[in-house]
């Protein structure tokens, strides 16, 4: 993915720093878990802790394979009588298949609620005022923008969006939110994440998506072994490019060797140049100079341009 340079000049992107934006998540899919055992059942499946959340009602995690590879990034909202799961559309099939097989019906049931609901994000310094009175608003996690997330009944979404507009919120499209996540170091399914990606390779630890204390869950053995006995061979970094890159993915060359691939690129106003997320071999250090296609780039490790 390479975003047009003008994305970061859009009014909605500017409003993330000075006002408030709203984003309707049209490409995610949503599921509902109900039943008396819903929390404990989900606790044994996902990488994050949904029991000991420190009072948070909205957390970020993932469904993994038995070998610890990412299947589905998950935004999880814990409500009084249900749990709402939101995931990228491409992950919905594998997620539903796993839940349908793993959940005991007498304790927990899953149903898709995508058509019956709307996902809305409200971000920027004015977000709290914009969502005042919206009972379903929860603090956003792993979006690349500070604010609130909502999953609301579809029949009520029009009225909610009208209220947000009346409070000065500017609509943000998919490209604006993609720029946020690139600059914040948040990986995307189909870009940085494929069926061979381990969560620690793409910052899921830093994003709060992994628990090392809650006990067993699907893929936990691999995740724990990497944490306590070693490290991944790759990591997600930011590349600062000297020119506009070709369309990713791009091979990354360092000292004559193939060391990774650049995956998502956008313009950075802060650095006044193009930047890209890349998965690189761990031995490539912070500050190293690499080749990304025809561009020269400097590697930044754990130095992102936005808060997650």
Integer-rounded Cα Rg, in Å, for the chain is 20
Q: How many CA atoms lie less than 13 Å away from 5 in the CB half-sphere?
A: 8
pTM (2 d.p.): 0.96
Cβ neighbours of 105 (radius 10 Å): 9
User: What burial letters (b/e) apply to 113-132, b meaning 16+ CB within 10 Å?
Assistant: beeebbbbbbbbebbeebbe
Residues near 31 by beta carbon (within 8 Å), at least 6 away in sequence: 84, 85, 86, 87, 92, 95, 96, 99, 110, 111, 112, 113, 114
Alpha helices by DSSP H, 103-217: 127-130, 154-166, 174-184
Q: What does each of the 308 residues of the chain score in pLDDT, given as a tens digit? A: 999 999 999 999 999 999 999 999 999 999 999 999 999 999 999 999 999 999 999 999 999 999 999 999 999 999 999 999 999 999 999 999 999 999 999 999 999 999 999 999 999 999 999 999 999 999 999 999 999 999 999 999 999 999 999 999 999 999 999 999 999 999 999 999 999 999 999 999 999 999 999 989 999 999 999 988 888 999 999 999 999 999 999 999 999 999 999 999 999 999 999 999 999 999 999 999 999 999 999 999 999 999 99
């Amino acid at each position: 993915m390479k975003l047009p340079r003008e994305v970061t000049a859009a009014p909605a992107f500017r409003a993330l720093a000075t006002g408030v934006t709203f984003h309707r998540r049209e490409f995610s899919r949503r599921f509902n878990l109900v039943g008396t055992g819903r929390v404990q059942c989900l606790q044994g499946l996902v990488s994050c802790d949904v029991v000991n959340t420190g009072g948070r009602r909205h957390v970020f995690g993932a469904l993994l394979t038995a070998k610890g590879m990412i299947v589905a990034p998950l935004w999880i909202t814990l409500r009084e009588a249900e749990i709402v799961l939101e995931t990228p559309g491409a992950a919905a099939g594998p997620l539903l298949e796993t839940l349908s097989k793993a959940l005991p019906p007498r304790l927990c049931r899953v149903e898709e609620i995508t058509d019956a609901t709307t996902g809305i994000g409200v971000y920027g310094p004015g977000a709290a005022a914009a969502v005042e009175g919206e009972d379903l608003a929860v603090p956003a996690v792993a979006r690349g923008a500070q604010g609130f997330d909502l999953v609301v009944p579809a029949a009520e979404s029009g009225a909610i969006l009208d209220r947000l507009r009346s409070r000065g919120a500017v609509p943000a499209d998919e490209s604006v939110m993609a720029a946020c996540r690139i600059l914040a170091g948040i990986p995307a399914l189909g870009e940085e994440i494929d069926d061979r990606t381990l969560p620690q390779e793409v910052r899921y630890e830093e994003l709060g998506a992994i628990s090392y204390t809650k006990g067993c869950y699907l893929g936990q053995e691999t995740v724990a072994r990497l944490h306590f006995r070693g490290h991944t061979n790759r990591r997600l970094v930011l590349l600062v490019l000297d020119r506009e890159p070709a369309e990713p993915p791009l091979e990354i060359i360092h000292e004559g060797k193939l060391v990774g691939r650049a995956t998502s690129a956008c313009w950075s106003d802060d650095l006044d140049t193009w930047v890209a997320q890349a998965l690189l071999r761990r031995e490539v250090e912070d500050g190293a100079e690499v080749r990304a296609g025809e561009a020269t780039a400097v590697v930044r490790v754990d130095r992102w341009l936005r808060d997650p």
